[in-house]
A and B are shown apart, each in its own frame.
Chain A
Amino acid sequence: MKKENLREFAEGILNSYTQIFFARDPVLAIALIAVSFLSFFSGLSGLLAVIFTLGAGLLFGLDKKAIYNGLYGFNSLLVGLGLGLYFAPTPGYFLILLLSSVLTLFIAVSLQGVIGKYGLPFLSVPFIIGVWIILLATRQFENLGISEKGIFRLNELYNIGGSWLVNVYETIHRWQFSSTLKLYFMSLGAIVFQPNVLAGFLIAVGLLFYSRIAFTLSLIGFYTAYLFYLLLGINLAETSYSYIGFNYILTAIALGGYFLVPSRWTYLWILLLTPLVAILTVSTESVFNIFRLPVYALPFNLIVLLFLYVLKFRTSENLRLREVYIQQFVPERNLYAFQNNLMRFDFRFTFPFRLPFWGKWTVSQGHDGEHTHKDEWKHAWDFEIRDEEGKTFKGTGDLPEDYYCYGKDVTATGDGVVEEVVSDIEDNRIGDVNLVHNWGNTVVIRHGDYLYSKLSHLRKDSVTVKKGQHVSAGEVVGKAGNSGRSPYPHLHFQFQPAPFIGSKTLYYPFSHYLRFKGAVPEFETYAVPQKDDVVSNIDPNPLLKKALHLIPGQKLHFSVNGTASENKVVFIAETDTLNQTWLVNRATGSRALFVSDDTQFYFTYYEGKKTDILYYLFLGLYRVPKGYYQDLEIRDTIPLHQVLRPRQRILQDLVSPFILFNRVEYTLSYIEIDNPALTNRIVIGSRINQKRFGRQYERYVFSIIFEFGTIQQIKVNSPRENLLLTCIG
């Protein structure tokens, strides 16, 4: 086994432990492993089960990524931990352990196949089925000695850690805290079959390190259940279900913060669902007691699966309960990334559309317009060109030719196929309208299923495309004219769900464009131009376009001169089958995912250390529109966890589902250009500021020079470090 593979395998083992809490976190993993070894043989048996499963999975050729994420291992781990408590270490037992690990793996994979289709996780169902099968079967196996472990706990602890560990155990148990908190710790410990306070305490610490939200949720889940029992007149501490408390904890973490984006609404749902879990615990127990089988985490599994499945049947977008689509394995990250993406992108509108013309045009009638954009046709625009004085024509305006927009090229708004062309309708005299062919000369372009765009009132015989022809964004399709219901020349533009001329309109925004107030542009993303807005497309500057067009395989070499370091770094642009693109620092393994389209370059995600040089590239070039506009200021927000270190946001994490008092803002401004039309050198400046309770703190300042067709120099100023990156090829 190569070193690389060995590391991955070790990670797979750790992940199998933390996967119990849906996490990938080394601190939590160490806590869990330590706890499992409080009962040595149980711990060993669990570890072996993980190794067996990972090994079997690899030999079998299952998905490596899933294996190393601990997706299969954690169920076997639980089986191993459980069996280790029941049986004595005999050779026969190890064979049983091996077999049960493989069986659990098979169940897990099969379940993945069956319910994975519905977008559901298999949770710890494989463990429950696996351990039941083994338990039922082993009752017949006389040779497997039943273990005495768990009965003489102190003896066992003494064997592992001597009198020191016994003392710790005793001290913690003697602590004068409420019986409920004790019970909470015991429930936590019970997750790895160690229902004692020491184990629970260690896990709680690990959980707190891993995620403040998960920790809070575990408390909320547990105490909700406790209060519910109290309401029914039962003291949880005195009942036989006590150890089963982990069901509430796991449900709370799963639904409150992991599968759903944590919010006050998920917290509220936890309050409702926990009593249900409690009821289910009692009812399932009464069934399975007949077979003398413990229900373990069955109630948790049932409720979570039920809830997630029902969520899938919602027909409308609901911001309150949002499923996590891109799992980042920490509730905080899911939350910050989600909130940030909500601000940066609009996922409902993925097709990139540009304005259908060149230069600055003015919206003369917007959505819900006063003239014709009403009812089913309300999501449409009329565009025209106005001069300095706001006039749309020169001279007397008696002829279509007098109008500035008349005869100007109109372009395809996005890539697509020409669906319909009308080109033979006469242009009207000024003031006249053609109500028979009211759309006039028209081009309809198909961009996707139920997504068409239509350009109308074009000049007679000006259409240069044919039906069925492919057009790309920005390609000329005709000229603005005055045909159809058009008393004066203008361009009518709309998105529509059907290919027909006269179809109703569809609400769809333009992805990026500039809106001018005087000469000062504003950057708009996923927006709808309003009446009287002066708008234009972003005109990419060839230098920025070239420098930020990173071809997969391209290497960026930088020399680094800083207060703390001096060396060279190489970043490589890479891509994958999903067409994601990223820059990677091979030396450290850090990655920064980016998107580079026609009009802008932006990063979406960074993974790696916050001291890596690549991290500065990620922050400094977080979003760069490829046009140069002197007075334009670009603002964007960065997910908190990508900038703030965990210790800097403990308080924020705790209350994050309810309130965000921190904000990390990115600001870009264009500093200098040697020649806007024929550019050789551009300087841009960007800043990362943290806003806390309305007060602003400057964290990073970047000055970036583009020259010789590349990113020539990046100057980084932060309180911690001053760096100068210079391109060396």
Chain B
Amino acid sequence: MEKKPFERPLIKRLNAGMPSKFGMHTHIEALTEIDGLKVEDLVAEHGSPLYVLSERILRKTYRDAYNVFSTRYPRVQFAWSYKTNYLDAVCNVFHQEGAWAEVVSGFEYEKAVRNGVPGSRIIFNGPDKQEEDLKLAIQNGSLIHIDHFDELYLLLELAEKGTGKPKVAIRINMDTGIYPQWDRFGFNYENGEAWEALNRILLSEKMELVGLHTHIGTYILTADAYRIAASKLAILATGIERKYGKVIRYIDIGGGFASKNTLKGAYIPGTDAAPSFEEYADAVSSALIKSDIKPENLPLLVLETGRALVDDAGFLLGTVLANKRLADGRRATIADIGVNLLFTSFWYQHEVLPAQEVSQHTEDTTLYGPLCMNIDVIRDAIDFPLLKKGDHIVIKRIGAYNMTQWLQFITYRPRVVMIDESGKVHVIREREDLEHLIRLERIPAHLKSDDARKK
């Protein structure tokens, strides 16, 4: 018989409230394996903390999402939102599955080109596009989503200079009945700016208007907002066809679909609160199909879903460093995962699971990271099993944004590995080391260490 793991003793106040019909169940299921590989082994081989991405989940999520839309709408295209996770391996999984690239900076654009994405399959978004970036995008026939008039003027200027005929879409913001209304990106629908931009583009004849784009926000918890957004874009598309005889080739509805993570302060968990993918798809496709757009001109539906495609495939593995008791008597556990590696912990109540079997006993715990900063809190209050130093933890659904918004702070950023569909582990980003970090540093001559010692 295997020896049962030791757990520290625990005294817990008895709460004589009304138990629900399910009793007072608190047991937390451990997550000991990812795609059939032991967390323990992964950490032993690749160190802790460790980012793990599952190629199987990436592909499955993508295909499910694609099928959800393609069974509802005849022509669907996903564009991988680079900023969500631009590790080459992740991008290439999506490109292999058929996704375009959606980039928001010259850097991301370069990365997409480097990944072998043909220019015509890159959507160039965002408020910051430098002149050089735009020139390249025009020459490559990329789809430039104009964000503001100054960009429009710049494009006109470039087109006049003979850089080529830019393929453009405009980004449109609008009231979809939700708060907050994202009105800082693109041209407003209600106040007529959108039409003004469209008129300028179409009357100039220097650019080719190919699409319309909106991105109503992020973590949108109602599918109806998408219905309204799609309908408004469809109205614009029919208007453009009526006025200019120009058929809009695609409508880009952006992303922002809520993932299953729970927002801080949310009353019900994200798995229950967020609409299903199907509901979003129903809303968008039915709005377009029922619109006045002629069936033969039904535009391509482009989706820039980022978070919902990648979040579930990411796991962050860590190790308990210490346990301590706080001044008010609460327990605290310190792990080696800090907010610098889990940026999203600022707004999500991440699901943290033990990586080894635990008893049913849990304690109200604050989960701290290893940084020497007061803000380094992964979870304020979590019913957590009694882990001891050296035990491993797994944080689920961290595939989105954490590997792009992470900070190199105090210590090195860890390895990122991907488990392929056959269960083989590939390192897709090495652990940083001193060499890597000082590569860009330059020391003025008078501060060179030899000189400094002399003084």
List the A side residues contacting B43 at CB < 8 Å. none
B250 at the interface (CB under 8 A from A): yes
B331 at the interface (CB under 8 A from A): no
Known A-B contacts A409-B72, A476-B289, A674-B120; A359 and B67 likewise in contact (beta carbons under 8 Å) = yes
Q: How many angstroms from the CA of A674 to the CA of B142 in the assembled complex?
A: 12
A539–B72 alpha-carbon span in the complex (Å): 14
| Of the residues A388, A405, A539, A676, contact of B60 by C-beta under 8 Å | A388
Contact B141 A539 (CB under 8 A): no
Q: Chain A: which residue is nearest B301 at the CB level? A: A677
B419 adjacent to chain A (CB < 8 Å):
no
Is the beta-carbon distance between A408 and B71 smaller than 8 angstroms?
Answer: yes
Contact between B100 and A407, CB atoms less than 8 A apart: no
Question: Which chain A residue has the least Cβ–Cβ distance from B69?
Answer: A359
Nearest CB of A to B54, in Å: 15
B75 within 8 A of A: yes
Contact A358 B70 (CB under 8 A): yes
A542 CB contacts on chain B under 8 angstroms: 249
Chain A CB within 8 A of B77 CB: yes
User: How many residue-residue contacts, CB under 8 A, span A and B?
Assistant: 60
- Does the CB pair A539–B74 fall under 8 Å? yes
- Which A residues between 535 and 594 are near B, CB-CB below 8 angstroms? 539, 542
Smallest CB separation, A92 vs chain B (Å): 72
Known interface pairs A388-B63, A407-B282, A475-B295. Does A674 touch B71 (Cβ–Cβ under 8 Å)?
Answer: no
Q: From residue 375 to 430 of chain A, which have CB atoms closer than 8 A to chain B?
A: 385, 387-388, 394, 401, 404-405, 407-409
A675 and B121: CB pair below 8 A?
yes
Q: Which residue of A lies closest to B276 (CB)?
A: A401
CB distance from A159 to the nearest CB of B (A): 74
B357 on the A face (CB < 8 A): no
Say yes or no: is A678 at the interface (Cβ < 8 Å to chain B): yes
Q: How far is the CB of B121 from chain A (nearest CB, A)?
A: 5
Instruction: Verify B250–A385 contact, CB threshold 8 A.
Output: no
* Bound CA–CA A461/B358 (angstroms): 50
Q: Is A680 interfacial (CB 8 A cutoff)? A: yes
On chain B, the residues within 8 Å of A499 by CB distance are: none
Is chain B's binding surface mostly helix, strand, loop or mixed? mixed
B289 touches A387 (CB 8 A): no
Interface size class of chain A, counting residues whose CB lies under 8 Å from the partner chain: 20 to 34
**Which residue of chain A lies nearest to B70 when distances are taken between CB atoms in the complex?**
A359
Residues of B within 8 A of A676 (CB): 98
Which chain B residues border A361 with CB–CB below 8 Å? 71
User: Does any Cβ of B come within 8 Å of A357's Cβ?
Assistant: yes
Asked if B390 CB lies within 8 Å of chain A CBs, one says no
Residue B269 lies at the interface, judged by CB distance under 8 Å to chain A: no
B313 CB-CB contact with A under 8 Å: no
- Chain B positions 264 through 279: 1 when the CB is less than 8 Å from some CB of chain A, otherwise 0: 0000000000000010
The verdict on A358 contacting B295 (CB below 8 Å), with A387-B67, A407-B282, A677-B300 known, is: no
B205 at the binding interface (Cβ < 8 Å): no
A408-B72 contact in complex given A678-B210, A678-B300, C-beta closer than 8 Å:
yes
Q: A358-B74, A359-B70 are in contact. Are A680 and B120 (CB under 8 A)?
A: yes
The answer, yes or no, to whether B73 is at the interface (CB within 8 Å) is yes
Chain A min CB distance to B282 (Å): 7
Which residues on A sit within 8 Å (CB–CB) of B141? 674, 680
Q: Is B118 an interface residue (CB 8 A)?
A: yes
CA distance A359 to B295 in the complex (A): 16
- Residues of chain A contacted by B295 (CB below 8 angstroms): 474-475
CB distance from A415 to the nearest CB of B (A): 13
How far apart sit A407 and B67, CA to CA, in the bound complex (Å)? 14
Against B, the Cβ 8 Å flags (1 = close, 0 = not) of A338-377 are 0000000000000000000111110000000000000000
Task: Tell me which residues across on chain B come within 8 A of A407, comparing CB atoms.
Answer: 278, 282
Give CA–CA (A677, B74) in the complex, Å: 11
Q: Is the CB of A675 within 8 A of B60?
A: no
Alpha-carbon distance A387/B65, docked complex (angstroms): 11
Q: A360 CB to closest chain B CB, in angstroms? A: 8
Closest to A358 in B: B74
Task: Write out the residue numbers on chain B whose beta carbons fall within 8 Å of the beta carbon of A359.
Answer: 67, 70-72
Is the C-beta of B64 less than 8 angstroms from some C-beta in chain A?
A: yes
Q: Which residue of B lies closest to A405 (CB)?
A: B71
CB-CB under 8 A from A387, the residues of chain B are 63-64, 67
CB-CB < 8 A to A675: which residues of B? 118, 120-121
Give the residues in chain A near B282, CB-CB below 8 Å.
407
Q: A677–B67 contact, CB under 8 A?
A: no
In the assembly, what is the distance between CA of A476 and CA of B288, in Å? 13
Query: With a CB–CB cut-off of 8 A, which chain A residues contact B64?
Result: 387, 394
Contacts of A539 in B (CB 8 A): 74-75
A678–B249 contact, CB under 8 A?
yes
User: 0/1 per residue, B93-130, Cβ < 8 Å to A?
Assistant: 00000101000000000000000001011000000000
- In the complex, A248 Cα to B65 Cα: how many Å? 73
**How far does the alpha carbon of A407 sit from the alpha carbon of B100 in the complex, in Å?**
28
- In the complex formed, the residue of A with least CB distance to B98 is A676
Residue of B nearest to A545 (CB): B296
| Contacting pair A677 B250 (CB below 8 A) | yes
A357 CB contact (under 8 Å) in B71, B143, B249: B71
Min C-beta distance of A329 to chain B, whole Å = 41
Chain B residues with Cβ below 8 Å from A357 are: 71
- Complex Cα gap A677–B249 (Å): 10
A404 touches B67 (CB 8 A): yes
A677:B77 contact, CB within 8 angstroms: yes
Q: How far is the CA of A345 from the CA of B250 in the complex (A)?
A: 36
Select which of B67, B73, B118 is within 8 A of A385 by beta carbon.
B67
Q: Select B73's contact among A358, A360, A405, A680, beta carbons within 8 Å.
A: A358
Task: Give every chain B residue within 8 A of A405 (Cβ-Cβ).
Answer: 71
Judge whether A674 and B118 touch: CB under 8 Å: yes
Q: How far is the CA of A525 from the CA of B18 in the complex (A)?
A: 67
Closest B residue to A401 by CB, please name it. Answer: B278
Name B120's closest neighbour in chain A (CB-CB). Answer: A675
* Bound-state Cα–Cα, A470 to B402, Å: 53
Residue among B60, B250, B278 facing the most chain A CB atoms (10 A cut-off): B278
Residues 272 to 298 of chain B near chain A (Cβ within 8 Å): 278, 282, 289, 295
**A491: shortest Cβ distance to chain B, in Å?**
12
Since A359-B71, A408-B72 are in contact, a sample of 16 more A-B pairs with Cβ atoms closer than 8 Å, ordered by chain A residue number, is A357-B71, A358-B74, A359-B72, A360-B71, A361-B71, A387-B63, A387-B64, A388-B63, A407-B278, A408-B71, A409-B72, A674-B118, A675-B121, A676-B98, A677-B75, A678-B250
Sample of 27 A–B contacts (CB below 8 Å): A357-B71, A358-B70, A358-B71, A359-B67, A359-B70, A359-B72, A360-B67, A360-B71, A385-B67, A385-B71, A387-B64, A387-B67, A394-B64, A404-B67, A408-B71, A408-B72, A475-B295, A539-B75, A674-B120, A674-B141, A675-B121, A677-B75, A677-B77, A677-B100, A677-B302, A678-B210, A680-B141
Shortest beta-carbon contacts, A-B, top 6 = A359-B71, A677-B77, A675-B120, A359-B70, A408-B71, A677-B300
